Amino acid sequence: MSDEGELASGGQRIDRWLWYTRLLKSRTLAAALVTAGKLRLNGDRIAKASRMVRPNDVLTFPLGPHIRVVKVLKPGTRRGPAPEAQTLYEDMDPPRPRDASDAPKTGPVREAGSGRPTKRERRQTDALLGDDK
Where do the structural domains in the chain lie, given as residue ranges?
Answer: 3-94
Pick from 17, 49, 55, 51: which is nearest to 33 by CA?
Answer: 49
Of 132 and 15, which is predicted with more confidence?
15
CATH number of this structure's domain 3-94: 3.10.290.10
Q: What pTM did the predictor assign?
A: 0.67
Given a cut of 70, whether residue 105 has pLDDT beyond it is no
Rounded CA-CA distance 46/122 in Å is 59
Q: Are 88 and 46 in contact (CB under 8 A)?
A: no
Q: 113 falls in which pLDDT band (50, 70, 90)? A: low
pLDDT in tens, 33-73: 999 999 999 999 999 999 999 999 999 999 888 899 999 99
Does pLDDT of 3 surpass 80? Answer: no
- Following DSSP, what letter does each residue of 22-56 receive, concatenated? TSSS-HHHHHHHHHTT--EETTEE---TT-EE-TT
Q: What is the mean pLDDT of the segment spanning 91-107?
A: 70
Percent over 90 (pLDDT), the chain: 56
In degrees, rounded to 5, the angle at the alpha carbon of residue 47 between the alpha carbons of residues 46 and 50 is 95
